[in-house]
Amino acid sequence: MAKAYRKEDFDYIMSKVGKVDPRVKEYLEEAGYEKWSRCHAPVNRGRMMTSNITECINGCLVEARVLPILGFLEEVRILFAVWNCKNSEIASYINTTLERRFQEILTDNGVKAAGSYLYCVYESGKRYIVDIERGTCSCCQYQIDEISCAHAIAVLKNMKNWIVPDFVDADEVLPLKYRRPPERPKKGRHLKSSESLTSSNHCGKCGRAGHNRRTCGFFPKES
């Protein structure tokens, strides 16, 4: 239910939840759909997915950050080599240029052009409308994830005469304008504004957390 891309599918599953236990449905409504439902989120997931990939790599390299720079780079090389080897082994069992699901859409159902950028993709008896120019699909996965869905990939694979616009071909990719600070990154993640800050400092007089003996208010300084 939380992973549904279309609101029609979400409403159908929510109605089934209400029949099983109305209290659960009321609790989820009070919590707010925009906080946990994918199709009701106020922002797309592209930025979040990119950030999660970065945080995943950072999490795998936490222990290696204490090493010297050469040792750290060697750990990064070994990590990516293992991932590439595993992915290459999985890809070796695929005989087609696309993954099995994408290939089935092309061979069994087919793709039909409905306009200059509009295409109809048929999958399991259902029709999906893909707009390549706007980057949308009627399954809603394309615009929410901001990553090409299976139907968009089938359309791109089916397009034989791919014409790259001049402004795209002439676009120059430049490096970032901002430089990274000359320090090692912190191991701990940055806390959000909604998260409470906990202090590990304890007072030497009263033993309570959040202050030190110089700013202690329970035992004022003697005059």
Distances (CA, A) of 27 to 3, 30, 46, 49: 18, 5, 28, 27
Reference 5, options 148, 142, 152; nearest CA is 142
pLDDT in tens, 110-135: 677 777 778 888 877 788 888 888 88
Mean pLDDT of 190-216: 71
**Residue carrying the six token digits 């299976």:** 150
Angle, alpha carbons 145-97-46 (nearest 5°): 10
pLDDT in tens, 63-122: 888 888 888 899 999 999 999 998 888 888 777 766 666 666 666 556 777 777 788 888
pLDDT in tens, 158-173: 766 667 778 877 878 7
Average pLDDT, rounded, for the chain: 78
* Helices (H), ranges, the chain: 7-20, 22-31, 46-60, 69-91, 100-104, 141-145, 150-158, 166-169
At 144, list the tokens. Answer: 């929410």
CA distance linking residue 158 with residue 215, whole number of Å: 71
pLDDT at 48: 58
